[in-house]
Copies of this chain bind each other. A is one copy, B any other.
Amino acid sequence: MTPDEFRAHGHRIIDWIADYRARVEQHAVMAQTAPGDVKRQLPAAPPEAPEEFAAILADLERIIVPGLSHWQHPSFFGYFPCNGTLASVLGDYVSTGLGVLGLAWQSSPALTELEEVVTDWMRAMMGLSDAWSGVIQDTASTSTLIALICARERTTRYSLARGGMQAQARPLIVYASAHSHSSVDKAALLAGFGRANIRIVPHDDVHAMRADALAEAIDADVRAGATPCAIVATTGSTTCTAVDPVDDIAAAAAPHELWLHVDAAMAGSAMILPECRWMWRGIENADSLVVNPHKWLGAAFDCSLYYVRDAEHLVRVLSTNPSYLQSAADGRVKNLRDWGIPLGRRFRALKLWFLIREQGVAALQARLRRDLANAAYLASAVAAAPRWRVLAPVPLQTLCVRHEPEGLEGEALDRHTLDWCDRLNRSGATYLTPALLDGRWMVRVSVGAEATERRHVEQLWIAMRQAAEEPAAAISRR
């Protein structure tokens, strides 16, 4: 494809995306396809000869789009929002079009230096001190894996330079909560700790980790001859946006020099609102934290920010220095390959730079406040309706709700919950993700897609009542 062909086809792609975004509301939110539907429409073998670009676009329209769940739909209330705001999308287009790589500072200096600038901007926006250094990773799963590896290496004084995890006389222990994200467990297992060395610290009745129980667990491990190594606290858990008490956890961890990693993947975006910063009070006592601007804030996926207080330690754990990556600038510059797992890096700072500049901080704050108000509105409505319950506090924009008809409990109630949620999803009216809370199914409503206005939340609430209270009636898409 020549640059001129790119110009022609590219304009069509821009128009296609603009149309898609303008009309996304016309789609069923959750894909209505059955397993294999997409695959069976595609040829099993690649084409020998070139195909017309128009044919590719036609297949995109005919085969791919019907197989999508639409995350940018205003009635998307599943998982957590993943807002690819259009300004950020264009920043990413520049990155992909330039096709430059950040293996080393020299391999594209602006890539490294702009990343430093925007992670500093975000640090200031979230009210963090300048003791933190940031870097862009792909996802919180990766950031948390890096955090636990760094914890392991700090506690063992760089065992990786010797016998690794295989040479531990006393087992290293990781502490988390039953409400920590699944990636915490996964990271501890991948980093080699072993499931037997993960402690699930009890939580209180609003699903926040109990710092006193953490202190007890640490003491018990020390008495048993183990070595407490790391604790992961969560600001805004996935199931119910529970808020672990970072300050108390830091206090419990400090005497034993535990690495404190704070997973604020979701709630981190809210930290640009001063009124929300109580949620991670004590954050300056943490060793590392992760915030995902690709969620609520609106940076096109993937854009996970990992901040550390001791950058030198991070680099010592992750650095490599083969001759073919050395340059005369080494020693005076950041080489971001030493701040993460991959060697190659996209120019991801552009999408955050475009987002923050095109929006401005005040408008980003206003949008998040809109969503908080919409969630509070829905929480009031649900709480006021007969037989409906809001099951957990709503510090952010995610509600845990259940419809509890008289006489239904236990597994029968679970069946009812999963049934109405499933019918609602299959109607195309919305996308909600159910989850287990305290051993029972409930329905998560995560407000905050960029396009979601009050009317979409009002429509959702009507559809929820209809689906749960009148199971025989057809659900209307509007």
Residues of B within 8 Å of A48, CB to CB, are: 360-362
Give per-residue flags for A137-161: 1 if the beta carbon is below 8 A from chain B beta carbons, else 0: 0111110010001001000000111
**Is A106 interfacial (CB 8 A cutoff)?**
yes
Query: Cβ of A255 < 8 Å from any Cβ of B?
Result: no
In the complex, A222 has a CB within 8 A of chain B: no
**Contact indicator per residue, chain A 216-244, by CB within 8 Å of chain B (1) or not (0):** 00000000000000000000001100000
The interface centre, meaning the residue of A79, A87, A113, A353 with most chain B CB atoms within 10 A of its CB, is A113
Is A172 an interface residue when CB atoms closer than 8 A count as contact?
yes
In the bound complex, how far is the Cα of B31 from the Cα of A107, in angstroms? 8
Report the minimum CB–CB distance from A110 to chain B (whole Å): 3
Q: Chain B nearest CB: distance from A12 CB in Å?
A: 9
Nearest residue in B to A67 (C-beta to C-beta)?
B110
Tell me whether A167 is interfacial, beta carbon within 8 Å.
yes
The reply on A412 being an interface residue by CB < 8 A is no
CA A196 – CA B181 in complex, angstroms? 33
User: If A164-B165, A183-B343 touch, does A21 touch B3 (CB 8 Å cutoff)?
Assistant: yes
- Closest approach, in angstroms, between the C-beta of A339 and any C-beta of chain B? 13
Q: Which of A91-99, A245-253, A375-383, A389-397 contacts B (4 or more CB under 8 A)?
A: A91-99
Task: Tell me how far the C-beta of A7 lies from the nearest C-beta in chain B, rounded to whole angstroms.
Answer: 4
21 contacts between A and B (CB under 8 A): A6-B14, A13-B94, A31-B106, A33-B109, A38-B109, A38-B113, A50-B359, A64-B110, A64-B114, A64-B350, A65-B110, A79-B324, A89-B96, A89-B97, A99-B301, A139-B341, A163-B197, A166-B197, A185-B320, A190-B191, A328-B422
User: Which residues of B have CB within 8 Å of A96?
Assistant: 84, 89, 92-93, 96, 300
6 new A-B pairs (CB below 8 Å) besides A4-B18, A183-B320, A238-B324? A6-B90, A16-B94, A47-B361, A50-B360, A51-B360, A165-B194
Closest chain B CB from A433 CB (angstroms): 5
